[in-house]
């Protein structure tokens, strides 16, 4: 029926898959997966057996023609990533755009997404927020990116890996000030799900004290800059930015 379904899968707890996701995965002709081995495991759990092919960051452009070809022969395809919602810090954008441009339907099948899951329980304002994905891996790039966000008043959501979580928290504290409030959400929906909330100084102290708090997958939900920031606070923030910039100079 020439449809591309964009199907969200769990971010840990397999019971979070939706009934609709299962029935769509059962009904399609093909499944396009970020990592076919990973997805085969998931499908086995739900006793679904379908032909798979890979669509990941390194072959996405190339795979567009395969997807369009299958759709033009009347086949239906489900696009999935390793965890959560495809296209959210995951491959799929190039394919979805091309499929839409070619005039085929793209139907979303919503489900788990780590950023929304973290926001829903973080206790940080959710009326306005921005998703920043992963910060740059190197500290210099990271601080540059954070400086651009120094005046951001919306809640900011970042994804982070276990290797860098502590370094990133420290850079955020350096640029935003260690009094800024955040919630560090770890291992969402999994056995060791943990939320650490407080000022950056407080959360950093807890993460430093317990190496378990550096394991697993993380979402950082950081409060925005104070809206009511008067000139005083503004100049404190400006001073901090200047400090960081000076550090970068030769
Ligand atoms: N597409 C996914 C989604 O919908 O959230 C995100 C994929 S991205 C490659 C992986 C990152 O998402 C991890 O490094 C982590 O920051 C975050 N993440 C995914 N699952 C998570 C979980 N169970 N707990 C905390 N963070 C998670």
Q: What is the pLDDT along the chain (250 residues), one digit of tens a residue?
A: 899 999 999 999 999 999 999 999 999 999 999 999 999 999 999 999 999 999 998 999 899 999 999 999 999 999 999 999 999 999 999 999 999 999 999 999 999 999 999 999 999 999 999 999 999 999 999 999 999 999 999 999 999 999 999 999 999 999 999 999 999 999 999 999 999 999 999 999 999 999 999 999 999 999 999 987 555 555 566 667 777 777 777 6
Q: How far is the CA of 147 from the centre of ligand 1 (A)?
A: 24
- What's the distance, Cα to Cα, between the start and end of the chain in Å? 61
Compute the residue count for the chain.
Answer: 250
CA 85 distance to own-chain centroid: 9
CA 209 distance to own-chain centroid: 26
Question: H/E element holding 109?
Answer: strand 105-109
Q: How far is the CA of 159 from the centre of ligand 1 (A)?
A: 7
Q: Which residues pair with 159 in a beta bridge?
A: 134, 219
Q: How far is the CA of 113 from the centre of ligand 1 (A)?
A: 7
What value of ipTM does the predicted structure carry? 0.99
Mutate to test the pocket of ligand 1, among 88, 109, 122, 219 (most ligand atoms within 8 A of CB): 219
pTM: 0.91
């Amino acid at each position: 029926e020439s449809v591309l379904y964009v199907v969200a899968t769990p971010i840990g707890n397999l019971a979070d898959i939706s009934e609709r996701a299962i029935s769509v995965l059962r009904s399609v002709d093909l499944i396009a997966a970020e990592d076919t081995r990973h997805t085969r495991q998931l499908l086995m759990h739900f006793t679904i057996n379908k032909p798979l092919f890979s669509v990941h960051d390194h072959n996405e452009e190339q795979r567009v023609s395969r997807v369009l070809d299958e759709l033009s022969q009347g086949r239906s395809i489900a696009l999935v990533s390793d965890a959560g919602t495809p296209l959210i810090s995951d491959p799929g954008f190039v394919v979805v755009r091309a499929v839409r441009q070619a005039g085929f339907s793209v139907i979303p099948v919503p489900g788990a997404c780590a950023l929304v899951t973290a926001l829903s329980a973080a206790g940080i304002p959710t009326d306005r927020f921005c998703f920043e994905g992963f910060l740059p891996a190197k500290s210099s790039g990271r601080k540059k990116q954070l400086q651009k966000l120094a005046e951001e008043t919306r809640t900011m959501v970042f994804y982070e890996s276990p290797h860098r979580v502590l370094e990133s928290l420290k850079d955020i504290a350096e640029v935003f000030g260690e009094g800024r409030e955040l919630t560090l959400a770890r291992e969402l929906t999994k056995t060791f799900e943990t939320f650490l909330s407080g000022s950056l100084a407080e959360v950093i102290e807890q993460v430093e004290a317990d190496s378990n708090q550096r394991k697993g997958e993380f979402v950082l939900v950081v409060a925005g800059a104070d809206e009511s920031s008067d000139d005083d606070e503004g100049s404190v923030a400006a001073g901090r930015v200047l400090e960081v910039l000076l550090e970068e100079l030769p």
